[in-house]
Chain A
Amino acid sequence: MLAASRVRAPYEPRGSQDRSLERRVARAFKEDGILLESPALPLAQEAPLPRIVVQPPRAGHCHPASKAAIEELLRFFGPACYYGLRRIELVQGNHRDDRLVFGRLVVPGRIILYDQRPSPWTIAGALTADQLEVLCRAGALPETTTAGLHMTVVWPGETLRDFLRFDVLMHEIGHHMIQQYKGKRTLRVARSKDHEQWADAFAYRCRCVYQKAVAG
Chain B
Amino acid sequence: MEELIAELKQCIVESLHLEDITPEEIETDAPLFVEGLGLDSIDAVELVAILEKNYGIQVTEMETAKAAFETVGTLAAFVVENRQQA
The answer to whether A and B interact is: no
